[in-house]
């Protein structure tokens, strides 16, 4: 394993400490619950917005804590939902008269931890609501799973509810907005290489030199199928077709287009995918109103990318345009 | 089963989970995300950290406290699932100071029901239930921990032919066939370890 | 080679086209010269700031074209300085009565291309000045090379002159500021893996499973030495020691601290390095006044990182704080 | 050497550079950044794209135009270095329609001086000069292109023992010893190809 890591067991806390040291004025770190929170929260005039999920997806979610985004994140270990205790304590610490919105990516472990944590916090008088994100089209709806997974599209849900809550929206309004954004957001990912969890020390799966995992999950879960490595344009087309046909997005739609890097892929390659997706959408009569090309939701050091579309209307577009701040910044 | 014996069983589970971190993690990485061994090991380490302070009033209380530590400290799917199992087993034990095999079976049934409710899962979904239920059935039928452990092992091996319908592996559908379920295999390994320590500590409850 | 790439020969132009498509309102793309420029430049009241350099270091420099940063970038192919023609044509297109500032990372090829391009542009009446960036302490000063290389520290030079030029500074003033920032900026990098240039299709060098290249260049040039892979804290210490002792930075200094990812390393690991560097600087009486943890100057998909320090004074800190915009953005 | 012959030599250089893209690139990746083959190949491709439109008034003009295309279209160190070499050689040729071996040697000397000036480099720095200068010396001494090509090859091989003092390889100091210089080896390969086509086109100028 070639990584910048000390003891794998301290990987997450050390990362969190680093984030806190780099943002002393804006963020607070509570080691007992892996908690990164805005230093100026809770605020009694604002709903608190919290997300948990496993670690290893950075910048999601600990690095998008900030004004106009999350008010707190309490991640679990790498790829493991946080223990319910973290959720419970975080909800209590972020308690606001306007309530606490708990964003949950749709995985069994995350849902259980947040359901249990919410029950406990409610017993202590904290008003909580859960909003589930499930944008991954790789998982065909099925009786068997908890349904589609929550992946990079959660950025848009966070951005929209974060912006609305800054403008004073109440908990019900945030639930409405969050569900609305989630409902028009779809993502599909592809892996070129496997990721290496620090505690495991070796790649999570094996991919041949000319193989890709189409529809991979952000925890390295196998996807729809193994395919042969093809040219970037073909991969962009395949991702786009899977996403466009799912909602579906139609000619005349205006969308946000995100190309998200999975951790090991340089931004130059993301723009190669972006170019093709943008051109192909245009050819289908779908207009890109806003573009996102960066890492948003990674899978450790996995080389790969995901493509997300959000169907825009005036309300969503205005919320996505609203100012926001976070620890992942350039300047 | 006395409180000392309950303690020993839980301790054995904890030591075995910690000792098998890599093996369990590797099993979970075939069609899962590879963290099952890590989650279990870290959680049981936390249990051992506060081991001496656990309430030992009776077996039921001890198991409930164990379950609460696990549920609140282990992340991933396993925290809620395993925590619920221990808490429910403790609840079924009530305040009894000695537990008969019948009572142990009832506790295991309570744990199974708890897992089913928490995980919205059932036998046949390719989860730890597919080893835990055969283990319980065999214990009820034979009153023999060794036979029960063998049943768990056989059932865990058999999960290899199943398609996952719950948990992260379920996302892969047909591709989950061909490898055993990590949780089921963990149950088998734990059952075997418990059966090994059992006779040396006196065969009856 | 597992990359999102079509024809390696079109890697750079396709990436540039992607950038242009994603930023239609703010950027202009001139394919003939690999040129990405601000749509609102040239501006007769502002010095134009241009950087060239090879590609493969994204976001440097094509993705930092924007208000308060570069006005244009004309990269060459992957790891190859731009042909002098690109420099010449770019200088002409960006011609302003206040002049054109050409930022050059200190490599033989870049210097020759810019020297020749500048001469040709001057013959056409364009007023140009060259500012050379050379922050890499891995290269011990020597009679033989052109001296220290320009690496991730160029971000700070760009940021400072970009901010000053927005405030109306003239060419001489920008030269003064740029040289001043360059003089107090030092960087040291380390590679965990080799990068794979698209046209080569295989890793540029071989590193054993437990080897790191200490002092690696951003073109994969070998560094000071091969070392054994050690814990993240030890690597952070080694990088920091090389940088601190070079200027040197002293107790009482206030600095900007950058941990720059080289392309294949996830941001979680960068924060592990950041944590240690920040703590160790504090222990030496050196205060981190501003932190930067992200990818700024990469080497394609190389796993690795570099550490940069800038000694701050009021002037530099104010310029680094000034607002800026660019194509690499989160929101 | 007639304008046709000059054309043929340049064409041979272009074809050989394009054909050896991978080999030259691999040489540059040992202690450089691996792009030498790519830069040269793309540059000479550009030259061939505008091949028919190059001014063929005389050999000197043709070489100058060639140099200008290379200098303005090849990136990296090689564009300015190779462009300068061709431009200077063209300048030294003047307006002559037939070039003697003496004149060719003078053109090569001009190219060498141009490279030295542009690169602030000299023989012994482990660059292409370490093959180009022995090639020129041998051509002057023997008037035999085959002998000159052999001298270039020998000199290129010998760069393996040298420590780089210019170019990207120089950053590595002592570590640059043990591998040949990419630019020097390219000169040797080009010289050999030129010597191969030479006799079939008539041995004299
Ligand atoms: N819904 C469920 N009900 C019961 N057991 C489950 C369920 N989902 C998963 N499991 C068990 O949990 C194991 C995986 O645990 P863990 O790795 O902690 O979960 P994850 O990483 O998917 O959150 C599986 O091997 C299976 O035995
Ligand atoms: N200063 C110099 N003077 C003459 N030749 C040089 C100089 N620097 C490098 N070279 C030659 O150029 C070759 C490398 O060319 P290229 O790969 O295009 O350069 P780079 O990638 O370093 O910009 C070297 O092998 C050497 O022969
Ligand atoms: Mg997990
Ligand atoms: Mg798992
Ligand atoms: Mg180069
Ligand atoms: Mg090179």
DSSP state letters, A272-320 = HHHHHHHHHHHHTT-EEEEEEEE-SS--TTB-EEEEEEEE--HHHHHHH
Q: 3-state DSSP call for residue C186?
A: strand
The mean pLDDT of A123-128, rounded to a whole number, is 95
Q: What is the pLDDT of residue D199?
A: 64
Domain CATH number, residue B59: 1.25.40.340
Distance B119 CA to ligand 1 centre (A): 8
Contact between B36 and B179 under an 8 Å Cβ cutoff? The reply is no
Interface mutation vs chain A, best among B30, B33, B115, most A CBs within 10 Å:
B33
The mean pLDDT of C74-88, rounded to a whole number, is 95
Distance D28 CA to ligand 2 centre (A): 9
Residue D21 belongs to a domain: yes
Contact between chain B and chain A (3 or more Cβ pairs less than 8 Å apart): yes
Across the interface, whether the CB atoms of B31 and A222 are under 8 A apart is answered: yes
Count structural domains, chain D: 1
Across the interface, whether the CB atoms of A116 and B171 are under 8 A apart is answered: no
Residue B205 belongs to a domain: no
* pLDDT for B144 beyond 70: yes
| CA nearest to C129, candidates C174, C75, C73, C93 | C174
Burial of residue B201 (number of CB atoms within 10 Å: 0-12, 13-18, 19+): exposed
- Residue with the larger pLDDT of the pair A226 and D32: A226
Closest residue in chain B to residue A202, using alpha carbons only: B26
Confidence of residue A142 (pLDDT cuts 50, 70, 90): low
Nearest CB partner across the interface for A17, out of C58, C229, C275: C275
Domain of D28, in residue numbers: 3-199
* pLDDT for B199 beyond 70: no
Closest residue in chain A to residue C277, using alpha carbons only: A18
Report the alpha-carbon distance of residue B98 to residue B91 in Å, rounded.
15
Instruction: Please check whether residue A191 touches C, CB under 8 A.
Output: no
Rounded to the nearest angstrom, the minimum Cα separation between A13 and chain C is 9
* Residue C302 DSSP code: B
Using beta carbons and an 8 Å cutoff, which residues of C are at the interface with D? 9, 54, 76-86, 88, 107-109, 112-113, 116, 138-139, 142-145, 149, 197, 199-200, 204-205, 217, 219-222
**Residue C42 preceded by cis peptide, ω within 30:** yes
- Residue with the larger pLDDT of the pair A201 and B157: B157
Ramachandran area for residue D94 (φ above 0: left; ψ -120 to 50: alpha; else beta):
left
Residue B157 belongs to a domain: yes
Across the interface, whether the CB atoms of C83 and D73 are under 8 A apart is answered: yes
* Residue D95 DSSP code: T
- Lowest-confidence region among A197-201, A233-237, C173-177: A197-201
Average per-residue pLDDT for chain D: 92
Residue D162 belongs to a domain: yes
Burial of residue D163 (number of CB atoms within 10 Å: 0-12, 13-18, 19+): middle
Query: Which residues in chain D are contacts of C198 at CB distance < 8 A?
Result: none
Rounded to the nearest angstrom, the minimum Cα separation between B165 and chain A is 5
Contact partners, residue B200, CB within 8 Å, separation at least 6: none
Confidence of residue B205 (pLDDT cuts 50, 70, 90): very low
Our answer to whether residue A57 is catalytic in this structure is yes
Report the alpha-carbon distance of residue A282 to residue A287 in Å, rounded.
6
Rounded to the nearest angstrom, the minimum Cα separation between A252 and chain B is 33
Distance D36 CA to ligand 2 centre (A): 8
Ramachandran area for residue D55 (φ above 0: left; ψ -120 to 50: alpha; else beta):
beta
Distances (CA, A) of C153 to A148, C183, C252, C306, D8: 43, 10, 21, 10, 47
Query: Which residues in chain C are contacts of D78 at CB distance < 8 A?
Result: 109
DSSP state letters, A211-277 = EEEET--TT----SEEEE---HHHHHHHHHHHHHTTTT--TT-EEEEEEEE-BSS-HHHHHHHHHHH
The mean pLDDT of B96-112, rounded to a whole number, is 94
Contact between chain C and chain B (3 or more Cβ pairs less than 8 Å apart): no
Contact between C328 and A267 under an 8 Å Cβ cutoff? The reply is yes
Q: How many pairs of residues across C and D have Cβ atoms under 8 Å apart?
A: 118
The mean pLDDT of D149-172, rounded to a whole number, is 92
CA angle B137, B139, B140 (to 5 degrees): 65
* Residue A329 DSSP code: -
Nearest CB partner across the interface for A200, out of B29, B172, B175: B29
Residue B107 belongs to a domain: yes
* pLDDT for D202 beyond 70: no
Rounded to the nearest angstrom, the minimum Cα separation between B197 and chain A is 30
- Residue with the larger pLDDT of the pair A323 and B198: A323
Residue B98 belongs to a domain: yes
Nearest CB partner across the interface for A56, out of C159, C268, C293: C268
Q: Select the highest-mean-pLDDT range: A68-72, D70-74, D196-200.
A: A68-72
Average per-residue pLDDT for chain B: 92
Residue D134 belongs to a domain: yes
**Ligand 2 atom having least distance to the Cα of D167:** 8
Angle at which helix D59-73 crosses helix D3-19, to 10 degrees, equals 30
- Lowest-confidence region among A112-116, C72-76, C307-311: A112-116
* pLDDT for A211 beyond 90: yes
Q: What is the largest CA-CA distance in chain A?
A: 55
Helix (H) or strand (E) holding C195: none
| CA nearest to C213, candidates D172, B201, B9 | D172
* Residue A13 DSSP code: H
The mean pLDDT of A163-171, rounded to a whole number, is 98
CA angle B134, B139, B141 (to 5 degrees): 95
Q: Whose CA is nearest to atom 19 of ligand 1?
A: B77
The pTM of the full predicted model, rounded to 2 decimals, is 0.93
Confidence of residue B202 (pLDDT cuts 50, 70, 90): very low
- Chain-centroid distance, C-alpha B3: 18
Q: 3-state DSSP call for residue C257?
A: strand
Q: What is the pLDDT of residue A109?
A: 92
Nearest CB partner across the interface for D32, out of C77, C144, C221: C221
pLDDT in tens, A309-328: 999 999 999 999 999 999 88
Query: Which residues in chain C are contacts of A17 at CB distance < 8 A?
Result: 275
ipTM of the complex: 0.90
Distances (CA, A) of B91 to B71, C145, C279: 15, 76, 48
Backbone angles phi, psi at A187, to 5 degrees: -135, 150
pLDDT in tens, D39-65: 999 999 999 999 999 999 999 999 999
Nearest CB partner across the interface for A83, out of B26, B79, B173: B79
Q: 3-state DSSP call for residue B141?
A: helix
Our answer to whether residue A219 is catalytic in this structure is yes
Residue D159 belongs to a domain: yes
Interface mutation vs chain A, best among B18, B39, B67, B76, most A CBs within 10 Å:
B76
Across the interface, whether the CB atoms of C217 and D72 are under 8 A apart is answered: no
Looking at the CA of D130, name the nearest ligand: 2
Helix (H) or strand (E) holding A78: none
Residues B16, B21, B26, B31, CA torsion sign: positive
Which residues are C136's β-sheet partners?
C187
Rounded to the nearest angstrom, the minimum Cα separation between B4 and chain A is 28
Contact between C87 and C181 under an 8 Å Cβ cutoff? The reply is no
Contact between D62 and D90 under an 8 Å Cβ cutoff? The reply is yes
Angle at which helix B21-31 crosses helix B36-49, to 10 degrees, equals 150
pLDDT in tens, C210-262: 999 999 999 988 888 999 999 999 999 999 999 999 999 999 999 999 999 99
């Amino acid at each position: 394993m070639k990584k910048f890591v000390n003891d794998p067991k301290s990987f997450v806390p050390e990362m969190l400490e680093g984030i806190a040291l780099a943002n002393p004025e804006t963020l607070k770190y509570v080691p007992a619950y892996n908690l990164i929170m805005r230093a100026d929260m809770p605020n009694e005039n604002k709903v608190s917005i919290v997300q948990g999920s496993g670690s290893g997806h950075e910048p999601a979610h600990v690095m998008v804590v900030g004004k106009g985004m999350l008010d707190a994140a309490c991640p679990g270990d790498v790829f493991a939902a946080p223990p319910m205790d973290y959720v419970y304590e975080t909800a209590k610490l972020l308690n606001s008269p306007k309530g606490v919105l708990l964003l949950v990516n749709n995985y069994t472990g995350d849902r259980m931890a947040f359901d249990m944590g919410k029950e406990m916090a409610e017993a202590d008088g904290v008003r909580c609501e859960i909003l589930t994100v499930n944008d991954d089209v790789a998982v065909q709806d099925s009786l068997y799973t908890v349904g589609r997974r929550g992946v990079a599209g959660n950025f848009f849900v966070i951005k929209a509810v974060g912006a609305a809550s800054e403008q004073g929206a109440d908990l019900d309004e945030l639930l409405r907005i969050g569900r609305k954004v989630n409902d028009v957001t779809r993502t599909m990912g592809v892996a070129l290489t496997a990721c290496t969890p620090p505690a495991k020390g070796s790649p999570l799966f094996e991919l041949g030199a000319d193989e890709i995992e189409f529809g991979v999950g952000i925890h390295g879960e196998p996807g729809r199928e193994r395919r042969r490595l093809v040219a970037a344009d073909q991969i962009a087309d395949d991702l786009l077709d899977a996403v466009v046909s799912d909602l579906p997005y139609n000619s005349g739609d205006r969308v946000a287009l995100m190309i998200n890097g999975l951790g090991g892929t340089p931004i130059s390659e993301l723009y190669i995918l972006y170019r093709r997706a943008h051109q192909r959408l245009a050819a289908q009569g779908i207009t890109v109103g806003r573009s996102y090309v960066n890492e948003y939701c990674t899978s450790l050091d996995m080389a790969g990318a995901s493509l997300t579309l959000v169907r825009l209307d005036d309300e969503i577009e205005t919320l996505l345009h609203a100012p926001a701040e976070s620890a992942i910044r350039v300047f | 089963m006395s409180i000392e014996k309950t303690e020993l069983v839980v301790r054995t589970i904890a030591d075995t989970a910690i000792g098998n971190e890599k093996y369990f993690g590797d099993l979970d990485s075939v069609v899962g995300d590879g963290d099952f061994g890590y989650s279990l090991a870290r959680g049981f380490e936390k249990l051992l950290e506060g081991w001496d302070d656990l309430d030992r009033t009776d077996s039921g209380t001890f198991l409930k406290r164990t379950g609460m530590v696990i549920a609140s400290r282990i992340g991933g799917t396993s925290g809620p699932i395993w925590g619920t199992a221990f808490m429910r087993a403790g609840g079924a034990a009530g305040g009894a100071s000695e537990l008969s095999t019948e009572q142990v079976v009832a506790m295991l049934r309570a744990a199974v029901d708890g897992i089913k409710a928490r995980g919205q899962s059932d036998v046949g979904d390719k989860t730890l239930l597919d080893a835990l239920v055969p283990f319980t059935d065999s214990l009820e039928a034979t009153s023999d921990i060794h036979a029960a452990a063998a049943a768990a092992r056989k059932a865990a091996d058999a999960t290899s032919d199943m398609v996952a319908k719950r948990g992260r592996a379920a996302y892969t559908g047909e591709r989950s066939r061909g490898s055993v379920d990590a949780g089921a295999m963990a149950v088998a390994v734990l059952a075997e370890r418990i059966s090994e320590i059992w006779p040396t500590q006196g065969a009856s409850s």
